Structure 1
């Protein structure tokens, strides 16, 4: 068996994605470009610890759409991965049962540690195709900023530990939906709410830094819808252009200006920003604040070791790519 065709589903707190790709010894080759639907599955989960009925209906509608796409392709395997919101929901069994009845596979609710490792795999596997003119230097930190959680993953230095191998990772229980619903309730958010959210985010980063060597990082790679959306805005894109964003190097000054501007906008103002998907309008401000704090804190930690970081790489490749690539490699190796 020289190649396998794998379908992967990444079901997060705010969005759900499907990708079908062929995996061989050279990597991943997309068969069906990723399909994204904003479903806000994590609506109210931070407060109520259960899925809302309307959120479940949005999720089921997307899963049925994916089932239709899958019916038109032969796939050797399908893996459905669910993350932060599903980990927290008391009624997750109802969700898992219904998805299984539609797709024939049961969602795997993976721990944050596995989510982090798969995001790192997906993001670093495509570094060779980056737009950046200078070769990204290890160690790499991949930041997967989701709706309910944010994963920080650090790889090796390229010497003692291969650059594409995970050295350590940590999943913070903060994300764009969680921070927006927990703190940024006014429209636009008040200065007090922003300060409270910042303190909450920094406390989680403090804990993360006891588990990962942030001071050793040389290159930051940002993945997820929040990061790529804010990158497009920092680049001045009038509408979202995934080809322009993928692999682009973004200076911190441009990123921080865009993050702060979007954070302080009203919902109506964000709705007029063409690069923001309508499904992210309510929560992108919370994600932008997390992104600013992560970049600031990682750069500060790296500076203690004489490492100067003033930019990051934006990537369209993350958890979903990692799900498909990992599954394909295991099938080719006879491990599944």
Structure 2
């Protein structure tokens, strides 16, 4: 997959410059892009900070003071970047952890003070639609077979979004569901031992499968022809599966990998100690303790979607495509389009 160029050479095409901020359970990310009728072009590519905002939120339903301190530090760094790159607008989107936090007003007030924009706490369905937009906006027509199932596996939630299918609705969402499971939640709920015990893994699988069962009542996963996986867990595990010694965005983006290989690597890293994982430079230090929980969610989603496709049309899906594009890209593209339409 390659990013769409957004400016037409030699034309005075109208464009806007926007900043998108995606604040999730585990990380906060910034992107500044120029958006026009053709797509977007990055001015400041993705900046990522692992802040673990969702620390213990699944248990306490509140943001921890130290988690808030980490996200405020990241926000101040983003403010410095934004001061150097004037924009027409900023959209700050907060997702799973913020939806669950009783003290989120404190977080929203301080972010507004630092960045001059109030976080929008969006529902899982909107998060799913934006992830789908971001992932599919960079797929060249005819390269992947629709319908696509975009899987956005975050720290606190995992979105399943089915869409595409003909030329008129190539990027339209047909069905979406947000599951309240992710790398941080699964680790904090179930994987307490280092490495996790088989009983802990079995209990986590039962929890994950229960959520997938519910999601499949809304999303007809059996209609899927191409699985597109986005988010840090998916791209990290893909990088490990293809043997990268250090993370390389260009090597991972658009990589097709067999489900069999993915599940094998997921299981191996799930059962490692944290110190063993720490020896792999491919894994961001902020993901060391939770990547096993994310890998387990990813394995179960892949296996269940493949089986659903087999039951629906007689052919199991045997691979997926990893993408560096997802929610953050969708935020930028959607916001930029809305600003253009308002002019």
Fold-level similarity (TM above 0.5): yes
2:219 is equivalent to residue 207 of structure 1: no
Provide the rounded CA distance (Å) in 1 between the counterparts of 2:318 and 2:241. 14
Aligned counterpart for 1:30 among listed residues 26, 39, 42: 42
Tell me which residue corresponds to 1:271: 278
- Taking the TM superposition and a 5 Å limit, the aligned residue runs for 1:169-318 are 169-304=176-311, 305-318=313-326
**Structure 2 length as normaliser, TM-score?**
0.95
Aligned-partner SS, 1:71: helix
Match status 1:67 vs 2:79: yes
Alignment partners' CA distance in 2, 1:250 and 1:6: 33
Which consecutive unaligned segments of at least 5 residues does structure 2 have? 1-12
Matched-pair contact (CA < 8 Å) for 1:218–1:307: no
Distance in 2 of aligned mates of 1:204 and 1:260: 20
1:295 aligns to what SS in structure 2?
helix
User: How many pairs does the alignment contain?
Assistant: 330
The aligned residue for residue 113 of structure 2 is 101
Secondary structure of the residue aligned to 2:140 is helix
CA distance in 1, matches of 2:14, 2:49: 32
The 2-side partners of 1:233 and 1:254 are apart by 10
Distance 2:273 2:310 in 1: 35
Deviations 1:147-170 (A, max 9, x none): 0000000003216x6121000100
Tell me the TM-score normalised to structure 1 length: 0.96
Separation in 1, partners of 2:308, 2:317: 10
For 1:25 and 1:51, locate their aligned partners in 2 and report how far apart those are by CA, in whole Å.
39
Where structure 1 has 5 or more consecutive residues not aligned to the other structure, the ranges are none
In 2, Cα distance between equivalents of 1:44 and 1:88: 11
Name which of 138, 141, 153 aligns with 2:149. Answer: 141
Match of 2:178, SS? strand
Shift of 1:273: 1.3
Q: What RMSD in Å do the two structures reach over aligned CA positions?
A: 1.2
Q: Specify which of 25, 44, 51 is matched with residue 39 of structure 1.
A: 51
The answer to whether residue 293 in structure 2 is matched with residue 321 in structure 1 is no
CA distance in 2, matches of 1:266, 1:128: 40
CA distance in 1, matches of 2:189, 2:246: 29
Between the aligned partners of 2:321 and 2:139, the Cα distance in structure 1 is 9
Q: Deviations over 1:180-219 (max 9, x none)?
A: 0000000000000000000000000000000011010000
Q: Take 1:308 and 1:47, find their aligned partners in 2: how far apart are those partners?
A: 37
